[in-house]
Amino acid sequence: MNLQERDQKYLWHPLTQHKLHPKHLAIVKAKDALLYDEEGNTYIDGIASWYTCMYGHCNEYIINKVTAQLGKLDQVVFSGFTHPPAVEMSEKLMRILPKNQQKIFFSDNGSTSVDVAIKMALQFHFNQGEKRNKIIALEDAFHGDTFGSMSVSGLSVYNGPFEDFLLTIDRIDVPNYENFEHVKEKFSQLIATGAIAAFIFEPLVQGAAAMKMYPAELLSELIEIAQKNNVVCIADEVMTGFGKTGKYFASDFLENKPDIMCLSKSLTGGIVPMALTTCSQKIYDAFYDNEISKGFFHGHTYSANPLGCTAISAGIDLLVSKEMKANSLRIQEKHAAFNQRIHKHPKVKTTRQTGVIFALDLNIKMERYGNLRDQLFEFFMKNGVCLRPLGNTIYVLPPFITTDQELEKIYDVIEKALEMF
């Protein structure tokens, strides 16, 4: 039996109806932008394995740093203890985060970083004797699959069984130049109730909502309104963080900075799972007290795992390097040139780009996880390109080190795919 067959005996895959999709491709190796399956076929990883391996798979620089750390300190409790990788990482990260971010809290994945942010925001008010029990989130948002992050996610097609157990959320439309006055009015009215503890958003790009993009200046205006009313603003940069938008963080495009930021995915360059929730001094100060109960009693066993912290530090070294910046610009230019080639194609409805994220909507209706979408996915894979369409949206978010040749292959296969319909 090959791996694909053995997989079926015990393994339960994420976001999968196993009766309809029993087979999972076995990937046995990855290097740079390439994935290798058990039969030796290669695939260009056009989505950086869910936006994680932005510096390339099995990046030697990161691996060497993590391997060296592995021989020194593997794991230690982070409550009551600290260690060099955590301290060094914090100093490096502070150099690239928006200046108002001052404290770093650890967890293990994007969803938990959002749960931590929500709990921080709720307790921020609680500690000051204010009862605020609602959160504003955007329509079509996706923030993860734990209860807190699922509550603020608007993309809840499959959340039916849990809806009665979720937090209380008010939703506003994603702002654009047409609806902004209306959105702003609703937002201000909600805030005027005094019940809103936090406003959470994916800045600039809503990833799971098929790379929906919206203007920084409109979001910034909403943040201003929120912050004037002491509403905690949470930027979920799990997807957008670490250079994907063309700056280190999407929040760098905002005039008004968030109070809290959620980071994961390419935080460790895809080497190990880890997540951070960072916050401003103002948030931290609301927990800093002689009373123990005002502290933040949230903790994960693997908080600040030394290997994860080392991978983050190494990833930041790469992110700020001249080489990676040049690569990012190169990809942005290649995407823009591809856009010129494709945007008038009769099968293409719209295209959009932010940084190295490029997306196009087909002129064809497709279910998010329907047959047509599956056919498209299979076509890409058969042609050696790993792209996962979201409904009728095809998007490309390649590792920064993807070569021009590999990019051209991705674009060519997309163009060929348009002939399928």
Query: How far is residue 365's CA from residue 372's CA, in Å, rounded to a whole number?
Result: 9
Q: Is 239 in the site for ligand PLP (CB under 6 A)?
A: yes
Report the 10 Å Cβ neighbour count for 261.
29
Nearest partner of 175 among 149, 201, 207, judged by Cα: 201
Nearest position to ligand PLP, beta carbon: 110
Q: Is 304 helix (H, G, I), strand (E, B) or coil?
A: coil
Question: Which of residues 46, 56, 85, 110 is near ligand PLP by CB under 6 A?
Answer: 110
Question: Which of residues 109, 277, 353, 402 is near ligand PLP by CB under 6 A?
Answer: 109
Q: Is 277 in the site for ligand PLP (CB under 6 A)?
A: no
User: Do the Cβ atoms of 102 and 133 come closer than 8 Å?
Assistant: no
Query: How far is residue 321's CA from residue 161's CA, in Å, rounded to a whole number?
Result: 46
> What minimum distance in Å lies between the beta carbon of 354 and ligand PLP?
14
CA 23 to chain CA mean position, Å: 26
Nearest partner of 137 among 119, 162, 154, 150, judged by Cα: 154
Nearest CB to ligand PLP, comparing residues 175 and 406: 175
Question: Which of residues 46, 85, 144, 355 is near ligand PLP by CB under 6 A?
Answer: 144
Residues 6 or more apart whose Cβ sits within 8 Å of residue 112: 144, 146, 149, 275, 300
Nearest CB to ligand PLP, comparing residues 121 and 342: 121
Query: How far is residue 340's CA from residue 317's CA, in Å, rounded to a whole number?
Result: 33
User: Do the Cβ atoms of 259 and 285 come closer than 8 Å?
Assistant: no
Query: How far is residue 285's CA from residue 371's CA, in Å, rounded to a whole number?
Result: 52
Stretch that binds ligand PLP, among 20-28, 137-145, 291-299, 326-334 (CB under 6 A): 137-145
Q: Is 390 in the site for ligand PLP (CB under 6 A)?
A: no
Nearest CB to ligand PLP, comparing residues 57 and 334: 57
Query: How far is residue 138's CA from residue 235's CA, in Å, rounded to a whole number?
Result: 12
Q: Is 269 in the site for ligand PLP (CB under 6 A)?
A: no
Question: Which of residues 101, 151, 245, 264 is near ligand PLP by CB under 6 A?
Answer: 264
Nearest CB to ligand PLP, comparing residues 231 and 275: 275
Q: Is 114 in the site for ligand PLP (CB under 6 A)?
A: yes
Query: How far is residue 109's CA from residue 46's CA, in Å, rounded to a whole number?
Result: 22
Q: Is 308 in the site for ligand PLP (CB under 6 A)?
A: no
Nearest CB to ligand PLP, comparing residues 15 and 292: 15
Q: What kind and span of H or E run contains 84? A: helix 84-96
Nearest CB to ligand PLP, comparing residues 265 and 335: 265
Question: Which of residues 236, 259, 361, 406 is near ligand PLP by CB under 6 A?
Answer: 236
> What minimum distance in Å lies between the beta carbon of 363 and ligand PLP?
26
Residue 31: beta bridge partners?
34
Nearest CB to ligand PLP, comparing residues 309 and 357: 357
> What minimum distance in Å lies between the beta carbon of 85 and ligand PLP?
21
Question: Which of residues 30, 238, 272, 309 is near ligand PLP by CB under 6 A?
Answer: 238
Q: Is 143 in the site for ligand PLP (CB under 6 A)?
A: yes
* Footprint of ligand PLP on 176-235 (CB under 6 A): 202, 207-208
- 252 burial class (0-12, 13-18, 19+ CB within 10 angstroms)? middle
Query: How far is residue 393's CA from residue 372's CA, in Å, rounded to a whole number?
Result: 12
Question: What are the residues binding ligand PLP (CB under 6 A)?
Answer: 109-111, 114, 142-144, 202, 207-208, 236, 238-239, 264
